[in-house]
Amino acid sequence: MELTDKEIAERLVQTRNRLPQGVQLVAVSKTHPASAVLAAYKAGQRLFGENKVQEMTLKHNELPSDIEWHFIGHVQKNKIKLMAPYVSVIQGIDDFEALAEVDRQAARYGRTIKCLLQIHVAQEESKFGFTPQGVMDMLADGRWKDLSHVQIAGVMGMATNTDNEAQVISEFDTLVSLFHRIKDSYFAGCSGFGIISAGMSDDHELAIRAGSNMVRIGSAIFGARDYSL
């Protein structure tokens, strides 16, 4: 059952008030109706995350235009053109071809789209992302430097869904050290490369302690998701 607008607003404010300064909140609204997004919007939230392009586009079309939409799912290349006119950040870039397609589509609209490189740090096979070696190889290859309509703005990662805190901490540590390695090697002194997107409802405190500066929180704000709808 969907939470009421008042409950959503309260949970949003509680979540936001617990975040340290400098940590951005992406409210993950996937599966929830546009009315739920609007309730959070009215409580001051502007960054929202979705993992299905069509669903995000429908919400984009009907909701206020100053919302920043973050695409947080696996990027299917044939769907990039649908979000290219408006998406703010694409968080799930996991190969060079996706980056090149974002560049092509962004160019058609005269835009530059921020992209985060998704790194596979979890021990679960189902999670997408570059391996740490794979992302370093992609960057060393250098072709990304010719893409003038994408801005590589940081990294994104998901930890294993486990109660083993030590494991979760170590996975977030891996992501954060890789961020610094990439920054030192390719983006030193470049303020545009600065985002470490890590942490969800259940593990964002550990992620923040490890150095995350962007959390993606869904169920703690909007309640449980019903995928059967």
- The residues binding ligand PLP (CB under 6 A) are 28, 30, 51, 72-73, 158, 200-202, 216-220
Nearer to ligand PLP among residue 79 and residue 104 (C-beta): 79
**What CA–CA distance (Å, rounded) separates 216 from 182?**
22
Question: In DSSP terms, which residues pair with 118 in a beta bridge?
Answer: 156
CB of 103 to ligand PLP, least distance (A): 22
CA distances from 14 to 10, 22, 31, 86, 199 (A): 6, 16, 22, 29, 16
In the numeric block, which tokens belong to residue 120?
Answer: 């596979």
Q: How far is the CB of 184 from ligand PLP (least distance, A)?
A: 26
Residue (24 or 104) nearer to ligand PLP, CB? 24
In the structure encoding, which two tokens stand for residue 172, read together? Answer: 């977030």
In angstroms, what is the minimal distance from the CB of 131 to ligand PLP?
Answer: 18
CB neighbour burial string for 85-107, b if at least 16 within 10 angstroms, e if fewer:
ebbbbbbbbbbbebbbbbbbbbb
Query: Which residue lies nearer to ligand PLP by CB, 9 or 157?
Result: 157
Report in angstroms how near the CB of residue 158 gets to ligand PLP at its nearest: 6
Q: How far is the CB of 9 from ligand PLP (least distance, A)?
A: 17
Residue 9: CA count within 13 A, CB half-sphere = 10
Cα angle 173, 151, 32; round to 5: 70
Taking the least distance from each CB to ligand PLP, the nearer of 113 and 220 is: 220
Q: Which is nearer to ligand PLP, 89 or 147 (CB)?
A: 89
Classify burial at 68, counting beta carbons within 10 Å of its beta carbon; exposed 0-12, middle 13-18, buried 19 or more. Answer: middle
Residue (30 or 59) nearer to ligand PLP, CB: 30
Written as one string, the DSSP assignment of 106-146 is HHHTT--EEEEEEEE-SS-TT---B-HHHHHHHHHH-GGGG
CB of 80 to ligand PLP, least distance (A): 17
Q: Which residue's Cβ lies closest to ligand PLP?
A: 218
